[in-house]
Chain A
């Protein structure tokens, strides 16, 4: 059973870069079974899809964040990562990593537990 766990700093200063890592256990990350995805949820707001990485090397990002986001994979560590540059208070949210299921277009299962990232000086 594949499990995911987010890690990273819980506090990031405005204008800095948010960096999070998702560790995958229970299966190899270089699988064609999942699209490795980041999703976030600001307090009291709806879930927002950030982007995904697939084993063929393809990445897709939400156009609303595309200029600031990079998702990458470290096959040796069985991890994938999120970098979000030039953060503001609007980027404060619980960040989830998730496995996207389905051919090309995805629903999500499993999910990590989530990590709260606060952007504040």
Chain B
């Protein structure tokens, strides 16, 4: 199985500042058929299901604010949240869909400083 490791486990960012969340896969998840990385990011708030933010590592889902952006390739990926807002407080998970079984990171808890 591909192991997904996120860092840090928790992060506190001031309102209006930038949050940088990292995700590392145990092997490359670059899909050769389209030269895209098979990585998704989700946001989860207490008592709610995960919400899809990003797929193909950098494609923002419809309706997701532009302050959320994804980057990276191969095994190292980043979710950047610019201009941190109070409503961004949540757990964030990365997921690889390069190969089954599809696996998730352990999550990064984002809080306000």
Q: Bound complex: CA of A20 vs CA of B87, how far in Å?
A: 32
Contact of A46 among B49, B52, B107 (CB under 8 A): B107
Q: Is the CB of A107 within 8 A of B40?
A: yes
Least distance between A2 CB and chain B CB atoms (Å)? 13
Scan A11-40; emit 1 where CB is below 8 A from any B CB, else 0. Answer: 000000000000000000000000000000
Task: Say whether B95 contacts A105, CB under 8 Å.
Answer: no
The A92-121 residues at the B interface (CB cut-off 8 A) are 96, 98, 101-102, 105-109, 111-114
Of all chain B residues, the one with the shortest Cβ separation from A113 is B49
Task: Tell me if A48 is interfacial: C-beta within 8 Å of chain B.
Answer: yes
Residue of B38, B95, B106 with most partner-chain A CB within 10 A: B95
Interchain CB contact (< 8 A) of B55 among A96, A102, A112: A102
B104 interface hit (Cβ, 8 Å): yes
A60 and B100 alpha carbons, distance in the complex (Å) = 8
Chain B interface, number of residues (Cβ within 8 angstroms): 24
- Between-chain CB contacts (< 8 Å), 13 pairs: A45-B106, A46-B105, A47-B104, A48-B104, A49-B100, A49-B101, A49-B104, A102-B55, A105-B99, A107-B52, A107-B55, A108-B42, A113-B48
- Chain B: which residue is nearest A6 at the CB level? B49
Chain B CB within 8 A of A57 CB: no
Contact at B97–A109, with CB atoms within 8 Å? no
The chain B residue with its CB closest to the CB of A112 is B49
Question: Within the complex, which residue of B48, B51, B103 is in contact with A49, where a contact is CB–CB below 8 Å?
Answer: B103
Q: Are B49 and A96 in contact (CB-based, < 8 A)?
A: yes
Pair A105/B50 contact, Cβ less than 8 Å:
no
Q: Are B97 and A111 in contact (CB under 8 A)?
A: no
Residues of chain A contacted by B105 (CB below 8 angstroms): 46
Shortest Cβ distance from B106 into A: residue: A46
Q: Which residue of B lies closest to A106 (CB)?
A: B97
In the complex the two chains form, what is the Cα distance from A81 to B60 in whole Å?
Answer: 30
Instruction: Determine if B95 and A111 form an interchain contact, defined as CB atoms under 8 angstroms apart.
Output: no
Is B98 close to A, CB under 8 A? yes
